[in-house]
Amino acid sequence: MRAITRLLLAALLSTAASPTNGFAQTKVPDLRQATIEDLMNIEITSASRKEQRAADIAAAVFVITHEDIRRSGMTTIPDLLRLAPGVDVAQINSNKWAVSVRGFNGLRANKLLVLVDGRSVYNRLFSGVLWDEQDLMLDDIDRIEVIRGPGAAIWGANAVNGVINIVTKAAADTQGGLVRVDGGRSGEQGAVRYGGTLGAASYRLYSQWTRRDQSVIAEGTRANDASHTVTTGFRADGATQPDAWMVEGGFTAGQSRALWPNTDPQTAAREPIANDPSDTQGVHLLGRWTHTRASGASLQTQSFVDIAGRQEPVANYDRRVFDVDTQYHTALGAHHDLVAGAGYRFINETFAGHAGFSLTPADNSASLLTAFVQDEIALFGNRLAVTLGSQVQYDSGSGAGVQPTARLMWKGLPRQRLWAATSRALRTPSLQDRGIRVDFPPVPSASGLPLFVTALGNPAAKTENLVDAEAGYRLEIGTAAWIIATGFVGRYDDLQTQEQSAPAVQFVPSPYILVTSKFGNQLQATTRGLEVAGHWTPVPAWRLDGSYTAFHVTPQLAATSLDPAAVGEDGSAPRTQWQLRSTFSPVARASFDVAIFHVGRLERYQVDAYTRADVSAEWRFTDRLSAMAIGQNLLDAAHAEFGGPSSLVLATQVPRSASVRLRWTFR
Partner 1 sequence: MTTPRVHGRWLGVASVALAATLIAAPGIAAGNATDAVPDVAVKAAFLYNFAKFTEWPALPAGAPIVVCIVGDDGIAAALVVTVREQNISGHTLEVWRPQESATWRGCHLLFLADAETRRSAGGLGAIKTLPILTISDGKGFSQAGGIIELFVENARMRFAINVDAAERSGLHLSSRLLGLAKVIRDGHVQ
**Binding residues for partner 1 restricted to 558-597, rule: CB under 8 A:** none
Shortest Å distance, C-beta 180 to partner 1: 16
Residue 10 or 660: the one with the smaller Cβ distance to partner 1 is 10
Residue 305 is a binding residue for partner 1 (CB under 8 A): no
Shortest Å distance, C-beta 405 to partner 1: 23
Residue 67 or 271: the one with the smaller Cβ distance to partner 1 is 67
Shortest Å distance, C-beta 382 to partner 1: 5
User: Rounded to an integer, what distance in angstroms lies between the CA atom of residue 143 and that of residue 147?
Assistant: 13
**Which residues between 181 and 210 bind partner 1 (CB under 8 A)?**
197, 200-202
User: Rounded to an integer, what distance in angstroms lies between the CA atom of residue 654 and that of residue 186?
Assistant: 9
Residue 539 is a binding residue for partner 1 (CB under 8 A): no
Which residue from 27, 220, 270, 294 is in contact with partner 1, where contact means CB under 8 A? 294
Residue 476 is a binding residue for partner 1 (CB under 8 A): no
Please give the backbone phi and psi of residue 131, each rounded to the nearest 5 degrees, phi first: -65, -30
131 burial (CB, 10 Å; 0-12 / 13-18 / 19+) is buried
Give exposure, 277-309, as e/b (b: 16+ Cβ within 10 Å): ebebbbebbbbbebebeeeeebbbbbbbbbebb
Segment near partner 1 (CB under 8 A), from 45-53, 122-130, 471-479, 637-645?
45-53
Query: Total residues contacting partner 1 (rule CB under 8 A)?
Result: 78
User: Rounded to an integer, what distance in angstroms lies between the CA atom of residue 425 and that of residue 111?
Assistant: 10
Give the H or E element holding residue 13. helix 2-17
Which residue from 77, 113, 115, 170 is in contact with partner 1, where contact means CB under 8 A? 170
Which residue from 179, 205, 239, 384 is in contact with partner 1, where contact means CB under 8 A? 239
Contact indicator for 602, 572 with CB cutoff of 8 Å: yes
Residue 16 or 218: the one with the smaller Cβ distance to partner 1 is 16
Residue 541 is a binding residue for partner 1 (CB under 8 A): no
Segment near partner 1 (CB under 8 A), from 115-123, 211-219, 291-299, 492-500?
291-299
User: Rounded to an integer, what distance in angstroms lies between the CA atom of residue 347 and that of residue 591?
Assistant: 46
Side chain identity at 299, as an amino acid letter?
L
**Which residues between 8 and 27 bind partner 1 (CB under 8 A)?**
8-9, 11-13, 15-16, 19-20, 23-24
Sign of CA dihedral 33, 36, 38, 43: positive
Residue 54 or 392: the one with the smaller Cβ distance to partner 1 is 54
Residue 32 or 270: the one with the smaller Cβ distance to partner 1 is 32
Which residue from 198, 220, 240, 510 is in contact with partner 1, where contact means CB under 8 A? 240
User: Rounded to an integer, what distance in angstroms lies between the CA atom of residue 179 and that of residue 144?
Assistant: 22
Counting every residue, how long is the chain?
Answer: 667
Of 635, 637, 600, residue with least CA distance to 614? 635
Which residue from 27, 46, 448, 622 is in contact with partner 1, where contact means CB under 8 A? 46
Residue 233 is a binding residue for partner 1 (CB under 8 A): no
Residue 48 or 560: the one with the smaller Cβ distance to partner 1 is 48
User: Rounded to an integer, what distance in angstroms lies between the CA atom of residue 174 and that of residue 206?
Assistant: 10
Residue 65 or 506: the one with the smaller Cβ distance to partner 1 is 65
DSSP per-residue letters across 254-283: EEE---EEP--TTTTTT--EE---EEEEEE
Which residue from 244, 305, 388, 451 is in contact with partner 1, where contact means CB under 8 A? 244
**Alpha-helical runs (H) found in 477-554:** none
Residue 460 is a binding residue for partner 1 (CB under 8 A): no
Which residue from 41, 526, 554, 606 is in contact with partner 1, where contact means CB under 8 A? 41
Contact indicator for 407, 387 with CB cutoff of 8 Å: yes
Residue 75 or 202: the one with the smaller Cβ distance to partner 1 is 202
Give exposure, 480-501, as e/b (b: 16+ Cβ within 10 Å): eebebbbbbebebebbbbbbbe
Shortest Å distance, C-beta 27 to partner 1: 11
**Which residues between 401 and 440 bind partner 1 (CB under 8 A)?**
414
Shortest Å distance, C-beta 292 to partner 1: 7
Residue 249 is a binding residue for partner 1 (CB under 8 A): no
Residue 480 is a binding residue for partner 1 (CB under 8 A): no
Cβ count near 446 (within 10 Å): 7
Cβ count near 352 (within 10 Å): 14
User: Rounded to an integer, what distance in angstroms lies between the CA atom of residue 316 and that of residue 251?
Assistant: 19
Q: What is the DSSP letter of 132?
A: G
Shortest Å distance, C-beta 287 to partner 1: 14
Residue 173 is a binding residue for partner 1 (CB under 8 A): yes
Residue 518 is a binding residue for partner 1 (CB under 8 A): no
Residue 45 or 560: the one with the smaller Cβ distance to partner 1 is 45
Which residue from 192, 205, 230, 297 is in contact with partner 1, where contact means CB under 8 A? 297
**Which residues between 610 and 639 bind partner 1 (CB under 8 A)?**
none
Segment near partner 1 (CB under 8 A), from 40-48, 264-272, 488-496, 559-567?
40-48
**Which residues between 329 and 388 bind partner 1 (CB under 8 A)?**
330-335, 378, 381-383
User: Rounded to an integer, what distance in angstroms lies between the CA atom of residue 195 and that of residue 479?
Assistant: 37
User: Rounded to an integer, what distance in angstroms lies between the CA atom of residue 375 and that of residue 154?
Assistant: 11
Shortest Å distance, C-beta 321 to partner 1: 25
Farthest CA pair distance, the chain: 102
Residue 513 is a binding residue for partner 1 (CB under 8 A): no
**Which residues between 93 and 152 bind partner 1 (CB under 8 A)?**
142
Task: Give bridge partners of residue 403 from the DSSP assignment.
Answer: 391
User: Rounded to an integer, what distance in angstroms lies between the CA atom of residue 492 and that of residue 524?
Assistant: 5
User: Rounded to an integer, what distance in angstroms lies between the CA atom of residue 102 and that of residue 111?
Assistant: 9
DSSP per-residue letters across 539-602: ETTEEEEEEEEEEEEEEEE-TT---SSGGGGGGSS-SEEEEEEEEE-SSTTEEEEEEEEEE--B
Residue 169 is a binding residue for partner 1 (CB under 8 A): yes
Segment near partner 1 (CB under 8 A), from 293-301, 453-461, 477-485, 655-663?
293-301
Which residue from 128, 184, 238, 520 is in contact with partner 1, where contact means CB under 8 A? 238
Distances (CA, A) of 90 to 80, 87, 407, 574, 639: 12, 10, 31, 10, 11
Which residue from 27, 198, 220, 241 is in contact with partner 1, where contact means CB under 8 A? 241
Residue 606 is a binding residue for partner 1 (CB under 8 A): no
User: Rounded to an integer, what distance in angstroms lies between the CA atom of residue 340 and that of residue 319?
Assistant: 29
Residue 310 or 543: the one with the smaller Cβ distance to partner 1 is 543
Which residue from 37, 502, 507, 588 is in contact with partner 1, where contact means CB under 8 A? 37
Site string for partner 1, 52-91 (x = CB under 8 A): x------------xxx------------------------
Shortest Å distance, C-beta 189 to partner 1: 22
